[in-house]
Structure 1
């Protein structure tokens, strides 16, 4: 049984994987996540639940209608005219319908409808906030894959160069041009470069796994991502205050916190209605039948017992043992708590944006420095390689120049993608969609 379930699960994953693209663009990742992400779909279901709560609160202003039917069978001994006690069985029934409607409850029902409407909006904002979080996470994972892929290309080139250098060194050693220690140093460098290649390939697989988990793709599915033509982006860096103001005016977490204060104020208004009277109207129709009344037919009994009732009920709270006052005071505390939540949300958002601004400045500076560093280390490595070919280079000096070049190359790749990521995240806070 377990094996069958396991096989069915595998078949299900394979069928899903068959419908997925082989290569993904960043926009395809966004679109797929918006449709299939479990957390997002869970929040969407939560929003549907709040919509049902809103419909229920609106329906509370309508009258209800209940019907009651009871049919009983009674048995027992009763004395008759002859003084005997025969056992008699009688049937009796009661039939009624009743309705009630709240006419006045201190505005509680209206407050409740407004509150449920706000909670529905909050649920929608929670979805938007989750979309933003997923967008940033997917962008970071996508760029990390591109970074690792480019790093693999460069490291492979370094390995190929090392292999050629070892081959040349072997030839030079065979003819006595270099010492054995020099050949061993070249071989050791080749082993290190191959190790770096394996590390880069492992990092690439790990970064792909992160994106697969974010998209919640089947574990058996293998995919690749499309590399954009260029990572060049808008080099204009908007002022920090401008981005913060835009985020405070538009980000869903801020709007959600602002609505949270209104929700708390409505809780307070609902609690205060406990001091006010409640006026309700009610009505009922009913009839009864008893088979023991043998002198009157069934429908005649129903006609004779048919009753109608209509009335008003006024309930005035006089002493509630502090229940209402406690509810009011707790609601006031909730209002203050909601204000603190808004203040904290604003503070966290502005600080996050400021950190993003600093990250962009640092990333751009690091990228500029990495470009210059790569330029000079590449030239130094080229010169050392030419000297090695003609036997004019010291092996130790050559390996130092090569390691400097490899380090500069990796720093350049890291700085390039780090700058691309940080500028897009910073612009995203300003409301600019993420694109590559």
Structure 2
């Protein structure tokens, strides 16, 4: 019995600490934005595909480096031949079976080809760097998408909080209105107005809950989480908004230094320059050295008229060594070399245009981010002042209604103004946070909440 109890206890511990159980528990927790970033960088299909391309370009670099060293190939062949031969003076023909083998090692190395190999190595290294920067470029794009979606969820959740409070207040107003109506203090239509407002608040509450679910689904899709994953975001305790935007010129300078788009464009120009150098090498001679070691044997298995030489003696007698130079001079290449050079020149011009376009786009993006941030700050400050004034007015009107000094129509009018002010403030707040984070991102500041 005690062994059975011990076994059950161990089994229970395994179930409790089983990794699957840990994953399920972990999926039920709320994710911070930093955890969303980390998960996306590790699991996003596009990023992982680009990482594989980077690994492929690294292998291409290794191949280019290896081409500057001698190669070495070994070969071995074994053949059997059966044929009829004349074996006697009377001209009789008999089958004769022979076997032969050849063994060799061959090696060659390019001694000079107008630096084609060295330029190819440099180009492959630049392509590897460009592939790595493409990974960073994709990571930046996904980071901004996650930030926008995450803040949309926080916005909807904050709307839900104040709408829930508003709904509770409306319920209290309906109860109070019912008491006034029962006491004969207000007419029936005033009570109906309060009830209609309660129904409207409930509708907004349901709409906001639906918005939260939709925004969470959007973020799950960006993160490429499995459908059955239970997912929610962590609401930060405080969200700070800076009041002054850094200068546009300083941010543009920083963006030029750290963003991969510019570096990719510069690498494309360097790669195109090496394409030209490689194309020009096609017009130049190529000098290569080659060498070989080899031997072979032949053995008559049946009907031999000659004495047999031993296998190892033949290998020694037939052993040969060869070394030589091979000079290849292009004379006429059906315009292939000229076409390659012209296409390389076109590619160089296109790479420069791409670089100029990347610089222009980045400048415009930073300028737009600066404008969006400054506009969002002004809207936030204005909405904050409006909310402060409307909140105080609404508080006074609520007190007047409680004392019976005003009717429900005046209360609902002021209440609608308060709701609009709260919505404007919340929207302005999260818009300012989003634009601030985007502008800071161009400054090289990691996004945190």
TM-score normalised by the shorter chain: which range applies? Answer: over 0.9
SS in 2 for 1:275: coil
The match for 1:377 among 374, 385, 390 is 390
Q: Distance in 2 between matches of 1:376 and 1:312?
A: 93
Q: Distance in 2 between matches of 1:258 and 1:295?
A: 71
| Equivalent residue, structure 2, for 1:74 | 81
Q: Distance in 1 between matches of 2:26 and 2:201?
A: 39
Q: Distance in 1 between matches of 2:431 and 2:292?
A: 74
SS in 1 for 2:93: coil
Q: Would you say 1:342 and 2:355 are equivalent positions?
A: yes
Q: Distance in 1 between matches of 2:307 and 2:402?
A: 127
SS in 1 for 2:132: helix
1:21 Cα deviation from its structure 2 partner: 6.8
1:397 Cα deviation from its structure 2 partner: 2.5
Superposition pairs for residues 236-385 of structure 1, below 5 Å? 236-292=244-300, 294-385=307-398
Contiguous gaps of at least 5 residues in structure 2: 1-17, 301-305
1:18 Cα deviation from its structure 2 partner: 4.0
Q: Distance in 1 between matches of 2:26 and 2:421?
A: 42
Q: TM-score, normalized by length of structure 1? A: 0.93
Select between 57-66 and 303-312 the one with higher mean Cα deviation.
303-312
Alpha carbon RMSD of aligned pairs, Å? 1.9
| Equivalent residue, structure 2, for 1:6 | none
Q: Deviations over 1:154-180 (max 9, x none)?
A: 000000011111111122222322222
Superposition pairs for residues 50-61 of structure 1, below 5 Å? 50-61=57-68
Q: Would you say 1:402 and 2:415 are equivalent positions?
A: yes
Q: Deviations over 1:234-255 (max 9, x none)?
A: 4331111111111112211111
- The answer as to whether partners of 2:186 and 2:407 remain within 8 angstroms in 1 is no
Superposition pairs for residues 8-19 of structure 1, below 5 Å? 16-19=23-26
| Equivalent residue, structure 2, for 1:430 | 443
1:190 Cα deviation from its structure 2 partner: 0.6
1:55 Cα deviation from its structure 2 partner: 0.4
Select between 81-90 and 183-192 the one with higher mean Cα deviation.
81-90
Superposition pairs for residues 79-228 of structure 1, below 5 Å? 79-81=86-88, 82-228=90-236
Q: Distance in 2 between matches of 1:18 and 1:280?
A: 65
1:49 Cα deviation from its structure 2 partner: 0.9
Q: TM-score, normalized by length of structure 2? A: 0.91
| Equivalent residue, structure 1, for 2:431 | 418
| Equivalent residue, structure 2, for 1:8 | none
Q: How many residues in Structure 1 have an aligned counterpart in Structure 2?
A: 426
Q: Distance in 1 between matches of 2:260 and 2:323?
A: 50
Select between 277-286 and 142-151 the one with higher mean Cα deviation.
142-151
| Equivalent residue, structure 2, for 1:230 | 238
